[in-house]
Structure 1
């Protein structure tokens, strides 16, 4: 008997999310999905910058004062952040989240130059001291922010939970960052539309997915427009200003954390982003500031 597809929707990490899977009935589907959702919640609570009791809050509160002990999971994420920093010409920097204090994308106002100038000295992953047991931010006011890959990490962990429980068909979707466990019950691929970054009611392409991950970064997610220019939420850690070369970058990779890191790195590298994606040997679809589409299938 071919199982039916069930969708369990929820909200997490500021995004609309869903677990979609094949199961014998709705009760079984919800039971399986809830285990995956619990894992997403665990990661959100542990690493959210908005919670005073999170690991990130504890590390940030100790900036300039003392080292903070880390468990194995946190140490692994710090090591991954270090790898991203090195492979992105130091553009992917998880200390750059402090720049959000200058930018409010709910208001069409640019930050004052003196505000940015005061925050830029707090950006610099190369200054962070860490090992397998602890981490230290050397200057008060410095912050870590795992937002650059935390959602994608949660996608992977949720998908792995479902796999452990025997799910073989379905996917996890956290705000557009997706990890696929297997095809539809009839063996067909899931057809995923890629958002047109200038027309929210349209797509520019469809990507068939059976397994692996798909992630997209774009200048249409959070932005303001002033005098005909768009300022998006992806910020260059050196200048504190938004990047502007790519409208969107979508990447297919084995893991969501890899796909998401590649999209963000390509956005940050701007004109050199395409060369980075080629070196990373991933499938991609990228749309530049003129609307030209580049893809590798």
Structure 2
């Protein structure tokens, strides 16, 4: 073999090694739920170091916005309801701003002040009858996004009513997965998935060069999938009532409560939303569960970059017009 060919052979080996990627996965508990983190990197050490950075970033966000942590900025806001405005980081302020926009376009069907709702509905099998109309009305007395006062100049949040609370259970995990995806892309990590309890941000492709495959669970048989959707550089979120619900007089009542009325969502068993951003997708899937099929689709039409797959309580499959996957029979 000539010297020239030897160098060519060596160059090809180096190129091959430099292009190889290693996929590493880790599951951990963060923000009160399960996070599955998958990172594709040049070697195992790099992948594991980046997973640790993702966990550190999610922990940082949790310490800012988790209302069950008494030292978080959101908890400080809640503790000072009716007392005084609380200065928060711009990150927390802008997340609150976006949440209030969702409240406005859903007419209160989505509301971060749901955290003040009395937990009168029980989904642990202990409920034998529906709460009274009076109890339901009283349960949402402290809920109302219009009583959240934002001061953009001073970056403060003020809750007007004593006992009011805000919480980011419906947006926080999606926000965290989006932030971590952006952080990894900035570092040059070409592919991965961050899944926070069903709020999923993806980028790049699998080691074999194919898109990531996202399975959509059959809500009536959670051991089976109703379809598999290929995705890269996007987000997927699912909201559903198939694990927590009660039935009275043959009607299913979801654990997802309409914060404007205090009544559980009915009509839809699950909503899966696809789009570029997990925070927005989560806001949409949660809101659509509350609003129902028709109003939910009207809401989705305001977000042309997002599509959805809905399952009704009677097993019908409903897709938005821009949802592209294999055809369904229309009934599970």
Residue 253 (structure 1) aligns with: 275
Matched, 1:238 2:238: no
Whichever of the two has the greater Rg, that structure is 2
Residue 144 (structure 1) aligns with: 166
Structure 2 counterpart of 1:55, from 73, 77, 81: 73
User: Would you say the 8 A contact 1:32–1:165 is kept in 2?
Assistant: no
Structure 2 counterpart of 1:108, from 114, 119, 126: 126
* Partner deviation per Cα, 1:128-152 (whole Å, 9 max, x = no partner): 2112211111111111111110110
Q: Distance in 2 between matches of 1:100 and 1:222?
A: 17
Which secondary structure does the structure 1 equivalent of 2:256 belong to? coil
Alignment of structure 1 residues 73-92 onto 2, 5 Å: 73-92=91-110
Q: Distance in 1 between matches of 2:52 and 2:175?
A: 17
Structure 1 counterpart of 2:144, from 124, 127, 134: 124
* Partner deviation per Cα, 1:173-220 (whole Å, 9 max, x = no partner): 111111112111222011111011111111111110111111111112
TM-superposed CA distance for 1:223, in Å, is: 2.8
- Unaligned ranges ≥5, structure 1: none
Residue 317 (structure 2) aligns with: 293
Structure 2 counterpart of 1:173, from 164, 184, 195: 195
1:219–1:42 distance in 2 versus 1, CA, 3 Å: same
Query: How many aligned positions are there?
Result: 297
Structure 1 counterpart of 2:206, from 178, 184, 209: 184
Q: Distance in 2 between matches of 1:32 and 1:238?
A: 41
**Greater relative contact order (Cα < 8 A, sep 6+):** 1
Matched, 1:29 2:53: no
Q: Distance in 2 between matches of 1:229 and 1:55?
A: 40
User: Would you say the 8 A contact 2:254–2:265 is kept in 1?
Assistant: yes
Structure 2 counterpart of 1:162, from 174, 184, 192: 184
User: Would you say the 8 A contact 1:4–1:24 is kept in 2?
Assistant: yes
Q: RMSD of aligned C-alpha atoms? A: 1.7
- Unaligned ranges ≥5, structure 2: 1-16, 325-332
User: Would you say the 8 A contact 2:69–2:75 is kept in 1?
Assistant: yes
Q: Distance in 2 between matches of 1:199 and 1:248?
A: 13
